[in-house]
Structure 1
Amino acid sequence: MGSGLQHKKCDSPWDCLCPTVHCSFQENQEKKKVLNSLISGALAGAVAKTAVAPLDRTKIIPYLSLWDVQGWFLPLQEAYRLIYHTYLNEGFWSLWRGNSATMVRVIPYAAIQFCAHEEYKQLLGNYYGFQGKALTPFPRFIAGSLAGTTAAMVTYPLDMVRARMAVTPKEMYSSIVHVFIRISREEGLKTLYRGFTPTILGVIPYAGLSFFTYETLKKVHADHSGKAQPSPPERLLFGACAGLIGQSASYPLDVVRRRMQTAGVLGHTYSSILLTMQEIVREEGLVRGLYKGLSMNWVKGPIAVGISFTTFDLTQILLRKLQHGPAADR
């Protein structure tokens, strides 16, 4: 044996029994896991955002984004009218116009967020001694918050660019690349991260509560039903609850983020989160200002999050089955 030892890669755990043989089985498995998470997350984000794309078009009605103090029926009725009117006049596929540009941000964000969540769950599980078991509530919340923060940090400039394109005429920016170039040249690279602080402050409760709620509901379901995994409709319901709670908790900071991102082209100057909040409340009121658009987001948010979580889980299961057979179902 000695110096003539040949190193080989292991194709199965049984090849790892010999301590003198270099084993890369665990490393290969980890790479497959990360790749599966990235693919599943990207697909989850794309499917969820595409599903609610027609509802996103309702934002172009100014008063539709206001909180309706007399109830939700007016915004929902107007949303339906706009979608139906667009369908009649421009055709069915026009309801998804601009969705491909949205995918440029959504796909990397969702891929990173879901993949990061899986990795943070494993790290926290090892740290707290929960290997292979569900995390307790606090680590569960922390894993979600860290996942959302990681994704937001990496993809924030894309979100900034998307916000700019949404509030400016088409003539101002011809493409996403043009937005990057023009902002960098005219306003400086720092502008690409304007509104970053409220984004992170909003992501922490949003992602934390969303992942926490979804994981908690799955655990409660398993404990009370005796089933290892919920059905797809149950996953959709759990995800919808997660989206509703996360959206409600972080919404005011989301409004502040959008205001700070678009301040340069709308003629406003917002120097800090608190001053932005104060100006919004002073000019528009607490509810109509900081909760602008929440009624519509309570409709599309739970739908999108429910589809996102369900798509991620089912894609993960499918990929594992393709790689390892039926026994891989979790």
Structure 2
Amino acid sequence: MVKARKNKDPHLERLSNTEIVITALTSGAIAGGIAKTTIAPLDRTKINFQISHRTYSTRKAFKFLLETLRKEGFFALWRGNSATMARIVPYAAIQFTAHEQWKRILKVDQNGSPQKLFLAGCLTGVTAQSLTYPLDMARARMAVTHKSEYATLRRVFQKIYSFEGFRGYYRGFIPTIVGVIPYAGVSFFTYDSLKRFYREHVDSSSFTINPIASLGFGAVAGMLGQTSSYPFDIVRRRIQTGTVEKYPNMIKTIQYVYNTEGIIKGFYKGLSMNWIKGPIAVGISYAANDNIRDSLRAFLVKYRTHTLM
């Protein structure tokens, strides 16, 4: 019980659940926006290789970045980032809030069960992805097309609806959900487990983790989480950006990728890029969320205490 108390935010007992949710939503939104903007050019590069038959290499990835810079300009490297922000801000806000709430519902901090910690991560991923999926679809379309085809986020939604109907917004939803379960489960489980180990064996003097340590824990969590779910990321991107005739469903897409490109070249294309951008993005988002959230809650508690005096 003593160890469990070290993993519990001391500010929670002095805040209402509404305040807990608002601070989690705010910190999650800010953290997600910072992280995704940082790695947006790498994200666009990865998606372009994922949906094509071109073999991936680090040299080809940097060549793509340089060609985009030369032909379309500096800001083209962030093409689709407006759609990314429209998705990632609510996604990250929902994700971090849902994770905290699922841990509370499952009573993770009280019993310290690894199984429940992993389950909380899985449920977090499903919750956040289900509520924001159409925005992920729009972001993928904008990242792989020329600006004249999908000039704005609004145009993306209009064009998808016109040609594919409402169901078009959810193309690739099943492989996304299948993939997000191991990704969110592994990443959140790893991050929380490393933080718990740090508090219990390195520094038990404070609930707040050193930002550098937090960044490192997030990087490890991101690498493990994305590696575990990467083949499903390939499948969902093909379905999201390809035609219904070519990629009608998850099973047919898996068969097509396997038959034409094999396991390694097909399902793990661009993974090395993910090992660069994934740890950076997840590390920044997890560390930023924790520090912004804890600062907001500390401020609220201090403000309330000062007001009552």
Global fold match (TM > 0.5): yes
Checking the alignment, whether the CA contact within 8 Å between 1:134 and 1:219 is kept in structure 2 is no
Range with bigger deviation, 106-115 or 161-170: 161-170
What are the superposed Cα offsets for residues 195-237 of structure 1, whole Å, 9 maximum, x if unpaired? 1110000000001111000000011111211424431111011
RMSD of Structure 2 on Structure 1 (CA):
2.9
Summarize the Cα distance change of 1:186–1:269 in structure 2 as closer, same or farther, 3 Å threshold: same
TM-score, length-normalised on structure 1? 0.79
Q: Deviation at 1:173?
A: 2.6
Q: Deviation at 1:112?
A: 0.6
Summarize the Cα distance change of 1:30–1:106 in structure 2 as closer, same or farther, 3 Å threshold: same
Partner of residue 31 from structure 2, selected from 44, 69, 86: 44
**Who is 1:293 aligned against?**
270
Q: Deviation at 1:263?
A: 2.1
Query: Following the alignment from structure 2 to structure 1, what is the Cα–Cα distance between the partners of residues 122 and 97?
Result: 13
Summarize the Cα distance change of 1:60–1:309 in structure 2 as closer, same or farther, 3 Å threshold: closer
**Who is 1:119 aligned against?**
101
Query: Following the alignment from structure 1 to structure 2, what is the Cα–Cα distance between the partners of residues 34 and 101?
Result: 25
TM-score, length-normalised on structure 2? 0.84
Partner of residue 217 from structure 2, selected from 238, 244, 247: 238
Summarize the Cα distance change of 1:184–1:60 in structure 2 as closer, same or farther, 3 Å threshold: closer
What are the superposed Cα offsets for residues 33-84 of structure 1, whole Å, 9 maximum, x if unpaired? 000000011011001111112323434875998666xxxxx50x45456656
Higher relative contact order (CA 8 A, sep 6+): 2
Checking the alignment, whether the CA contact within 8 Å between 1:64 and 1:78 is kept in structure 2 is no
Structure with bigger gyration radius:
1
SS at match of 1:171: coil
Partner of residue 137 from structure 2, selected from 128, 135, 160: 160
Summarize the Cα distance change of 1:226–1:113 in structure 2 as closer, same or farther, 3 Å threshold: same
SS at match of 2:151: coil
Q: Gaps spanning 5+ residues in structure 1: where? A: 1-25, 69-73
Q: Is 1:33 matched up with 2:20?
A: yes
Q: Is 1:143 matched up with 2:120?
A: yes
Q: Deviation at 1:176?
A: 1.6
Query: Following the alignment from structure 1 to structure 2, what is the Cα–Cα distance between the partners of residues 256 and 43?
Result: 29
- Letter of the structure 2 residue corresponding to residue 261 of structure 1: Q
After the TM superposition, which residues 1-330 of structure 1 pair with which residues of structure 2 at under 5 Å, given as runs?
29-59=16-46, 62=49, 75=58, 77-80=59-62, 95-125=77-107, 133=110, 135-227=112-204, 228=206, 229-264=208-243, 268-325=245-302
Summarize the Cα distance change of 1:134–1:311 in structure 2 as closer, same or farther, 3 Å threshold: farther
Checking the alignment, whether the CA contact within 8 Å between 1:144 and 1:208 is kept in structure 2 is yes
